[in-house]
Chain A
Amino acid sequence: MKIRNMKDFLAGLMFIAFGAAATALAQNYNMGTAARMGPGYFPTVLGGVLAVLGVIILMESFVVDGEGPKNISFRPLILVLLSTVIFGVLLRPLGLVLALFALIAVSALGGHEFKWKEVLVLFAILASGSVAVFVYGLQLQFPLWPWSN
């Protein structure tokens, strides 16, 4: 059997995985009865239905033609996500300004071209703007620098 629609094949697998995981995890909770549904009832049913749908989609992928996923390049994906995570990690220890620098620099690496001058200018504008608007203007609580409490 040939996989004719890679997108649907993978989608089907994904749904089966989510559905099975949900049903399995829901077993830890009380099922209850139909009249007094416990916390596990609804997720079990949903997980089951999701898995079944996943199977149907999977089977259709052998029958109906379709294109495979296009245009996958890992660089933007990894760098954008990484920059976000780095921001989260650095925010409290190093303060908003430095965390923003990391966020901007790393995410800029995910773009088509990376020029230090542009990145620094962008950083200057965004950091000063953010601090002005969010910290002073809206009074949100952010540690600004590594030495801020």
Chain B
Amino acid sequence: MESGLLANLALGFGEVFRLQPVTMWGVAFQQVPFNIIMCFIGCLLGTLIGVLPGIGPIATIAMLLPATYALQPVAALIMLAGIYYGAQYGGSTTAILVNIPGESSSVVTCLDGYQMARQGRAGAALSIAALGSFFAGSVATLLIAAFAPPLAEVAFKFGPAEYFSLMVLGLIAAVVLAHGSVIKAIAMIILGLLLGIVGTDVNTGTSRFAFGVPELSDGIGFVAVAMGVFGFAEVITNLEQKEHREIFTKNVTGLWLSWADFKEAYGAVLRGTTIGSFLGILPGGGALLSSFAAYTLEKKWSKNPETFGKGNIKGVAAPESANNAGAQTSFIPLLTLGIPPNAVMALMVGAMTIHGIAPGPQVMTERPALFWGMIASMWVGNLMLVILNLPLIGLWIKLLTVPYRYLYPAILVFCCIGVYSVSNSEFDVYLTALFGLLGYVFVKLECEPAPLLLGFILGPMMEENLRRAMLLSRGDATVFFTRPISAGLLIVTAILLITILSPKIRKKREEAFQEE
């Protein structure tokens, strides 16, 4: 088995680094490492797209589809993969620098990452995000290489009942995210669930809470909510400061991780990687949960949970590692079942189809060069991103030293352009303004936005699975407890709930609450 794995990896890396004759602009070049170049272009494009908040998947995809036609399948897939991770890295960058999550999995990074940036530790935050992601990506790639087929089987054990229970667990865990009142956090989660319901109901096709507005028939866009509630609210409250105080302190403590930072964070990286690797295997939503779950776990296990949300480096290391590990392992359901975890990956399925490759387990046996080339390119892509991003950190830090009064209009410009470009609709821009207002109100009333966003993302999936589970069991609600995995998840949820609500913990919370 070992030598088989090594042989496969050798095949893969050989494919990635392969020199081939290429004709460009009428000139025939002989020995061009074309696939590597495609990987680099993908990573660059992806980073750019990820850093510009809101440039949506449709714009990206529509832009790239013609290119994927022209390229060979291996090159096309490698480029797309590069874009996928690049966007992830870029999304974390905006989360840390300007409190705007570029992707749904970067929401949690905002909590501590942005605070670290304000304290002059943006370099450390960005570094640990990059390094943690790279580590997690490497581990996850190895996992895929060695265990893809058996891991894919796990997906079959998860039916609607299991997904529902998993999401309930995720939502209760979201309460831990909040550092204030538990009841308000739960209320925010429920409000998020309700906002997620806006749109067309999967089961019956009914349009809910859309007030006849066609742009709402597919739901409220994540970008509008995230930008409004996180980004705009932050800008507005910053402008309210009575004293003319700079938001980002000029006292920047170094560009990189200090040894102390590293020692503090590496455990979180390991734990995050484990959680993300597992959750990413579940098709449709596993990767999203991984960053939330990793953060929650860190906070629960920490000796000083009240430092979370105020710039604790573990709060960046864990979710970043988790979401990258999850992003990698979510290739498993893609490659074995053809189920893409998000829109960019749907493009991958399309690209494979265009070239006549049906995604599925036979890809491994029928097109080994393609399959292992993709696996190898995952690792190479991660490496390239670290190489690309670490030097950029210096640039970002310089950017943060610009006086805020120049910075914030720039933030608004990029947000507005980004949100418009998602579906070429001004309605989304107005929606963002509305959520900016709501976000402002939330800040003033001390209601935390992160649980809301988690509820918003998970709500529709949770309802879909609840109804489907009930449909399949013909109304028998005990199905959630009779199926072993589902029961197990619910038991963990109950334990978590008890630890949250138990008097001792509650008193500790109230003390922490009053200290603020």
A: residues with CB less than 8 A from B are 7-8, 10-11, 14-15, 18-19, 22, 25-26, 29-30, 33-39, 42-43, 46-47, 49-50, 53-54, 56-57, 60, 69-73, 76-77, 80-81, 83-85, 87-89, 91-92, 96, 100, 103-104, 107-108, 110-113, 118, 122, 126, 130, 133-134, 138-142
Contact = CB atoms under 8 A, between A and B. Distances in A.
A87 B416 contact: yes
Say what secondary structure dominates the interface of chain B: helix
A34 B474 CA distance: 10
Interface stretch (B279-287, B354-362, B442-450): B442-450
B432 to A, nearest CB: 6
Nearest to A25: B209
B168 to A, nearest CB: 13
A138 B244 contact: no
B492 interface: no
Nearest to B412: A107
A80 B232 contact: yes
Contact of B405 (A60, A85, A111): A111
A80 B239 contact: yes
B473 to A, nearest CB: 8
B477 A34 contact: yes
A80 to B, nearest CB: 5
A92 B427 CA distance: 12
A145 to B, nearest CB: 16
A38 B204 contact: yes
Interface string B403-433: 0011011101110110011001011011011
A50 B190 contact: yes
Contacts of B232: 80-81, 84
B304 interface: no
A68 to B, nearest CB: 9
Contacts of A111: 239, 405, 408
Contacts, number: 189
B255 to A, nearest CB: 25
Given A50-B191, A71-B240, 9 more contacts: A35-B470, A43-B194, A43-B197, A57-B183, A69-B445, A84-B416, A85-B433, A104-B409, A113-B405
A10 B241 CA distance: 22
B201 A39 contact: yes
B300 interface: no
A37 B436 contact: no
What 5 A-B pairs are tightest by C-beta distance, nearest first?
A35-B475, A76-B239, A88-B429, A88-B426, A84-B433
B466 interface: yes
Given A50-B190, A112-B244, A138-B59, A14 B409 contact: no
* Residue from the set B184, B209, B471 with the largest chain A CB neighbour count within 10 Å: B184
B240 A108 contact: no
B235 interface: yes
Nearest to B424: A141
B445 A7 contact: yes
Interface in B368-427: 405-406, 408-410, 412-414, 416-417, 420-421, 424, 426-427
Interface string B171-205: 00000000001011011001101100100010110
Contacts of A77: 236, 240, 437, 440
A80 B426 contact: no
B475 A122 contact: no
Contact of B413 (A26, A36, A126): A126
Contacts of B420: 88, 91, 142
Contacts of B426: 88-89, 91-92
Nearest to B467: A37
A38 B204 CA distance: 8
A63 to B, nearest CB: 12
* Residue from the set A14, A29, A38, A88 with the largest chain B CB neighbour count within 10 Å: A88
Nearest to B474: A35
A86 B30 CA distance: 54
Nearest to B198: A43
* Residue from the set A10, A15, A80, A141 with the largest chain B CB neighbour count within 10 Å: A80
A48 to B, nearest CB: 10
Nearest to B438: A14
Contacts of A56: 183
A42 to B, nearest CB: 5
A18 B437 CA distance: 15
Contacts of A85: 429-430, 433
A57 B421 contact: no
A21 B466 CA distance: 23
A36 B183 CA distance: 30
B54 to A, nearest CB: 11
6 contacts: A7-B444, A18-B194, A22-B209, A35-B476, A42-B197, A92-B426
Contacts of B208: 26, 29, 39, 43
Contact of A130 (B413, B444, B476): B413
Given A35-B470, A46-B190, A50-B191, A14 B441 contact: yes
Contact of B194 (A50, A89, A126): A50
* Residue from the set B208, B409, B420 with the largest chain A CB neighbour count within 10 Å: B409
Interface string B467-485: 1001100111100000000
Nearest to A72: B444
* Residue from the set B239, B427, B476 with the largest chain A CB neighbour count within 10 Å: B239
B409 A107 contact: yes
A130 B444 CA distance: 33
A108 B406 CA distance: 8
Contacts of A43: 194, 197, 208-209
A81 B433 contact: yes
A33 B194 contact: no
B380 to A, nearest CB: 24
